[in-house]
Structure 1
Amino acid sequence: MQGTATDVDLSVDDAALASTDGDWVTVVWDDPVNLMTYVTYVFRSYFGFDEAKAERLMMQVHTKGRAIVSAGGREQQELHVSAMHGYGLLATLERVE
């Protein structure tokens, strides 16, 4: 799942923001290490996404360089970022403006 900086879509996923109760999002970034199947597995097992949503988000990570996987309050998003790091995924916390 490798990409270059020029093909990273930095726009915010409107669907993720529509369900937010806070001003923060968890972003999972593309990396050269993890297999697409593993990323899908993490999204399903940790977030409880169904297969279709997990695969859609994984493909967004793969093709656009990143995907917003959660939105809400800062503390909860920090927990999600930490969990993604625990699974070996690159993830960051971003404030929505």
Structure 2
Amino acid sequence: MNYVSFVFRSYFGLPREEADRLMLLVHNEGRAVVASGNREAMERHVSAMHGYGLRASITRADA
């Protein structure tokens, strides 16, 4: 869990409290929205998370 929080802080530049909150969402609910934006940017983020050894995917946000 510390590693996931570390990745969120180092890659996304999140403050510790937000990274820990998102990490707990992933731990307890199996997923969390960590970033949003255009598809190309999200694909880069997913690729980066895979590079850190984390599972990540893109889901279309419902408007």
Q: Using structure 2 for the length normalisation, give the TM-score.
A: 0.95
Q: Which runs of 4+ in 1 moved over 3 A?
A: none
CA RMSD of aligned residues (A): 0.5
Shift of 1:96: 1.5
Q: Secondary structure at the match of 1:68?
A: coil
Structure 2: gaps of 5 or more residues: none
Structure showing greater relative contact order (alpha-carbon pairs closer than 8 Å, 6 or more residues apart) = 1
Higher helix share: 2
Q: Using structure 1 for the length normalisation, give the TM-score.
A: 0.63
What percent of counterpart residues are identical?
58
Amino acid in the other structure paired with 1:41: F
Higher strand share: 1
Aligned to 2:11: 46
- The number of equivalent residue pairs is 62
